[in-house]
Amino acid sequence: MDVTVVEGDLTAQEVDAVVNAANRRMRGGGGVDGAVHAAGGPEVLDDCRRRFPDGLATGDAGWTTAGRMPARWVVHVVGPDRHAGETDRTLLTSCYRRALEVCEELGARTVAFPLVSAGVYGWSREESVDAALEVFAEGGWDLDEARIVAYGRDAAQVVRSRVGRTT
């Protein structure tokens, strides 16, 4: 599986699946979650309500339609909120691992990730990238590409510096 880095808009990626850093309720919100719901339109929210009436647990993942986005699916992950005391790093790696597992179940070949839990959930960009790379390096994934999409130049520089250290 190739790991690529893109500076840009996650919701505009032409991949099989985009990963949404969602909250437990899976009803939209701010940041990546708000952008995914806005770009995907009401179909994403309707599918979240139907498939996940009680939401998802931290570290878990599930899929919905991508609605109006160019991707086919959205894989929603619930990242740990460091500010709320969720400091167990295995919850963060679980988001990336579960997202890849869901992608494989769907038959997706390409997937675009945000920096899960970086930002309002208090994990650093470095921690998020390192968690992703750790899971990607486990190998055995039946995907062609895992794309890390960084929003903004500063985030992209952090991601590129971390990816460059491990490849």
Task: Quick: pLDDT tens for 95-138.
Answer: 999 999 999 999 999 999 999 999 899 999 999 999 999 999 99
Q: Measure the CA–CA gap between 148 and 130, rounded to whole angstroms.
A: 11
78, burial (CB in 10 Å: exposed 0-12, middle 13-18, buried 19+): buried
The sheet carrying 61-65 orders its strands as 2-7, 145-150, 110-113, 17-22, 73-78, 61-65
What DSSP line would sit under 41-60, residue for residue?
-HHHHHHHHHH-TT---TT-
Q: Quick check: pTM over 0.85?
A: yes
Q: Could you read off the pLDDT of 49-71 as tens digits, one per residue?
A: 999 999 999 999 999 999 999 99
Give the start-to-end residue ranges of the domains of the chain: 2-166
Q: Which of 16, 33, 60, 81 is catalytic?
A: 33
**Any idea what DSSP says for residue 149?**
E
Active site residue 9: no
pLDDT at 167 over 70: no
3.30.160.40, 3.40.220.10, 3.30.300.30, 3.40.50.300: which CATH number matches 2-166? 3.40.220.10
pLDDT at 166 over 80: no
